[in-house]
Structure 1
Amino acid sequence: MKFMRSNHPNFPLSNSGRRIITRMIVSVLAITVLSVGPVSAQTNTVSGAVLYVTDGDTFSLRGVDRPIRVWGLDAPERDERGASAATSTLRRLVAGQSLTCRVRDIDRYGRIVGQCFLADGRDVAAQMIAAGVAREYCYFSGGYYGTCRGN
């Protein structure tokens, strides 16, 4: 197989050609920045009425397709002592309430990890910690609720 070289000479771009390419690049960058800017500036929250309390730190909201795991809260698991008290306390606190949660993360189980607030502004995790049925999850909260050692 024989390779043929192009007969067209390799001319450098003229000044007008450089300007056109520069304008195209600047336009693409401007469109990209403008389209991403407002999205990153928005606060990522989910809101809705509580449908179901799964355990002492997880519940479902109407209109939200994933369960919500309360950020900064460590409640006993189902097979641990105190689990039913934590679950019933969370149920009493949020049942029938409309909550707003600031999305912090998605955990390995696909749940939304959110800092959640009742309509009156009370922080769900702070209420559970104050009730003594759960503790602050210091590894993730960084001592936000003031109950970790060294605070």
Structure 2
Amino acid sequence: MNTLRISLLMIIFGSTVVSAGEWIEGRVTHVRDVDTIEVSNLPVRLKGVDGPELNERGGQAAKRWMQKAILRKPVRCWLTGKKTYDRWVGTCFDASERDIGALAIGAGQARDCPRYSGGKYTSLETKESRKLPSHSYCK
């Protein structure tokens, strides 16, 4: 049985074990906000993406943007093996292999989080994204 199938069975039965450098694939079953999605019910925090919280300026609009972009669509995510709260940290890609975090930042819905991205997304920030709150944990 391949690693993906084992991982999906573990997710279904509630014993999620993720190791560093693991790919998961599935449909986006829920969008919590612009930087947290659920892939086949597994919460994934987009690495290096600083999105507004739902109660902050732009938060609801950013969530709606992400829902329109990827809800119920297939994605694959490279998980780091790290966890923040109940979410696994990873970089996710749509069916066209586009980085979902980069798309959100380029669309003005989120910012780069240089502490975790290493500045990977800084050049993608727009005038609109720079108006969004920047969280202290990203500095």
Could you list the structure 1 runs, at least 4 aligned residues long, displaced by more than 3 angstroms after superposition. Answer: none
Aligned residue number for residue 132 of structure 1: 108
Determine helix, strand or coil for the equivalent of 2:37: strand
Q: Work out whether 1:56 is the aligned partner of 2:30.
A: no
Specify which structure has the higher proportion of strand: 2
Aligned residue number for residue 119 of structure 2: 143
Structure 2 unaligned regions, length at least 5 = 1-18, 125-139
RMSD over aligned CA atoms reads 2.0
Structure 1 unaligned regions, length at least 5 = 1-39
Aligned residue number for residue 117 of structure 1: 93
User: Structure 1-normalised TM-score?
Assistant: 0.64
Number of residue pairs matched by the alignment: 106
Report 1:74-113 matches (<5 A): 74-113=50-89
The share of aligned pairs that are identical, in percent, is 36
Aligned residue number for residue 36 of structure 1: none
Deviation of 1:43 after TM superposition, in Å, equals 4.5
Aligned residue number for residue 71 of structure 1: 47
Determine helix, strand or coil for the equivalent of 1:125: helix
Determine helix, strand or coil for the equivalent of 1:143: coil
1:120 maps to a residue whose letter is: S
Distance (Å, rounded) in 1 between the aligned partners of 2:119 and 2:60: 25
Determine helix, strand or coil for the equivalent of 2:115: helix
Q: Work out whether 1:44 is the aligned partner of 2:33.
A: no
1:74 maps to a residue whose letter is: D
Greater relative contact order (Cα < 8 A, sep 6+): 2
Deviation of 1:104 after TM superposition, in Å, equals 1.8
Distance (Å, rounded) in 1 between the aligned partners of 2:45 and 2:60: 17
Distance (Å, rounded) in 2 between the aligned partners of 1:138 and 1:71: 10
Bigger Cα Rg: 1
